[in-house]
């Protein structure tokens, strides 16, 4: 492990969060926080080195100056891979790396960034304790669920819009006027210089992002209420895989044994409200059921993560000695960290349903082992 790059991320995050905490005392605006974070994130990516793990996990190559293409393009994806370890320095790793989240004092800003980083965290199950510690400091859990979800939605939408505007800047060289692209986009988004067509009107990017986030959050919250159906508990599902030699339950399943409802192997923080949705994740190593297969996702990650988390990459990707499992759990409404729920029958929405909570907040009711020949329907196809 080369600490040089870890230290760079940590130092830059600390400086950014300290500066942001000062600004947010007078202007606690999540939209502006997301814009400033996007600009910081892209500039930091340009300072770092790329690790070409597909050719050699020890071969570090200097990356050429990034040029924007459409979001999702090969070039865009290669740029995103450079920004490989934000969640590591944000949450910290045991006694190896000090967390930087402690410098971010605004509770709403914390939840907005946690939800954003959580989406891109490759191994949340391996840093459950660190994530839990971050949520339990500075009274952050006192922010209600609806507000957490809204902040996360707003942060996602704003960051995506930042990338779109950056693409527009590159396509029209006159827009930069000799300025740094990221700084130019940051200033124009904060000062309301971008006009966006929305419901037949031209609105600022700030208003567009805030309205979109509110609408999406309200829909998600309404659908979550339907799931709860006036109850304080709901059923959630989790797809995972374990070694054949491992036990899922902490103890034998028998009457009045509380340990039988605690999970040993395969625990994590990511759940879905549908059995079908969890099956997608259970089969992700055995079939290409995710947008990007597990092999591609893991092989495109820095070996820093494997070293820091003591993960054997070959063992992690092994399917020969693994079995896919879907667990059914009971979860208390008040223990949900954040959620994105879409109650529809489309495969795409099943795939994107998300309920995040601490593993020790769940009550393991039942589980079933899936045959490796299981057909998983996603995006209208059988894979």
DSSP of 6-56, one letter per residue? Answer: HHHHHHHHHHHHHHHHHHHTT---HHHHHHHHHHHHHHHHHHSPEE-TTT-
**Res 378: pLDDT:** 46
**Res 328: pLDDT:** 95
Q: Please report which helix (H) or strand (E) contains residue 290, including its range.
A: none
Domain spans of the chain, in order of start: 1-229, 231-382
**Res 300: pLDDT:** 55
**Res 227: pLDDT:** 82
77, 85, 121, 171 from 301: Cα distances, Å:
12, 9, 11, 30
The whole-angstrom separation of Cα 299 and Cα 317 is 10
The whole-angstrom separation of Cα 168 and Cα 47 is 23
Sheet with 362-369, strands from edge to edge, namely 233-243, 322-332, 362-369
**Res 377: pLDDT:** 56
Residue 228 has a CB neighbour count (10 Å cut-off) of 14
Q: What tokens does 361 get? A: 């907040």
**Res 297: pLDDT:** 56
**Res 52: pLDDT:** 33
**Res 191: pLDDT:** 94
Q: What tokens does 64 get? A: 């050429």
**Res 93: pLDDT:** 87
Buried b (16+ CB within 10 A) or exposed e, 268-292: bbbbbbbebbbbbbbbbbbbbbbee
| CA 46, 52, 53, 56 torsion-angle sign | negative
The whole-angstrom separation of Cα 282 and Cα 184 is 43
**Res 107: pLDDT:** 96
130 Cβ partners below 8 Å, 6+ apart?
91, 92, 93, 94, 99
**Res 114: pLDDT:** 93
Residue of 282, 294, 292, 244 whose CA lies nearest to 376: 282
Cβ 281 vs Cβ 367: under 8 Å: no
Residue 20 has a CB neighbour count (10 Å cut-off) of 21
Q: What tokens does 81 get? A: 């891979």
**Res 171: pLDDT:** 67
**Res 281: pLDDT:** 84
pLDDT by 10s per residue, the chain, length 383: 456 667 888 899 999 999 999 999 999 999 999 999 999 988 887 666 443 333 333 332 333 333 333 444 444 444 444 445 788 889 998 888 899 999 999 999 999 999 988 876 667 788 889 999 999 999 999 999 999 999 999 999 999 999 888 878 776 656 555 567 888 899 999 999 888 888 889 999 999 999 999 998 888 888 888 888 778 899 999 999 998 888 888 888 877 787 888 888 889 999 998 888 888 888 877 776 555 455 555 655 555 677 777 877 777 777 888 899 999 999 999 999 999 887 655 555 556 688 999 999 999 999 999 887 766 554 433 33
């Amino acid at each position: 492990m080369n600490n040089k790059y870890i230290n760079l991320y940590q130092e830059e995050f600390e400086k950014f969060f300290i500066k942001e905490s000062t600004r947010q005392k007078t202007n606690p605006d999540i939209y502006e926080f997301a814009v400033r974070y996007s600009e910081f994130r892209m500039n930091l990516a340009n300072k770092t080195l790329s690790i070409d793990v597909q050719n050699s996990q020890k071969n570090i190559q200097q990356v050429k100056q990034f040029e924007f293409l459409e979001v999702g393009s090969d070039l865009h994806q290669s740029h995103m891979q450079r920004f490989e370890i934000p969640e590591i320095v944000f949450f910290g790793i045991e006694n190896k790396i000090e967390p930087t989240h402690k410098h971010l004092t605004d509770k709403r800003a914390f939840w907005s960034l946690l939800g954003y980083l959580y989406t891109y965290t490759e191994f949340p199950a391996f840093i459950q304790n660190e994530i839990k510690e971050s949520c339990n400091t500075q009274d952050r859990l006192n922010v209600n669920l609806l507000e957490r979800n809204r902040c996360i939605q707003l942060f996602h939408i704003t960051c995506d819009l930042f990338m779109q505007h950056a693409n527009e800047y590159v396509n029209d060289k006159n827009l930069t006027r000799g300025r740094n692209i990221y700084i130019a986009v940051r200033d124009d988004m904060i000062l309301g210089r971008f006009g966006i067509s929305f419901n037949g009107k031209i609105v600022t990017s700030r208003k567009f992002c805030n309205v979109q986030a509110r609408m999406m959050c309200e829909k998600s919250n309404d659908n979550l209420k339907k799931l709860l159906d006036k109850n304080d508990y709901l059923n959630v599902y989790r797809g995972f895989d374990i070694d054949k030699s491992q036990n899922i339950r902490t103890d034998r399943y028998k009457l009045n044994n509380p340990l039988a409802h605690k999970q040993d192997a395969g625990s994590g923080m990511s759940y879905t409200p549908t059995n079908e949705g969890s099956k997608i994740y259970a089969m992700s190593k055995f079939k290409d059921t995710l947008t990007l297969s597990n092999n591609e996702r893991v092989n495109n990650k820095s070996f820093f993560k494997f070293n820091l988390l003591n993960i054997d990459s070959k063992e992690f990707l092994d399917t020969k000695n693994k079995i896919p499992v879907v667990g059914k759990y009971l979860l208390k409404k008040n223990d949900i960290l954040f959620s994105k729920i879409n109650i529809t029958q489309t495969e795409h929405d099943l795939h994107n349903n998300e309920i995040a909570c601490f593993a020790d907040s769940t009550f393991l009711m039942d589980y079933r082992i899936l045959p490796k020949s299981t057909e998983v329907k996603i995006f209208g196809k059988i894979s």
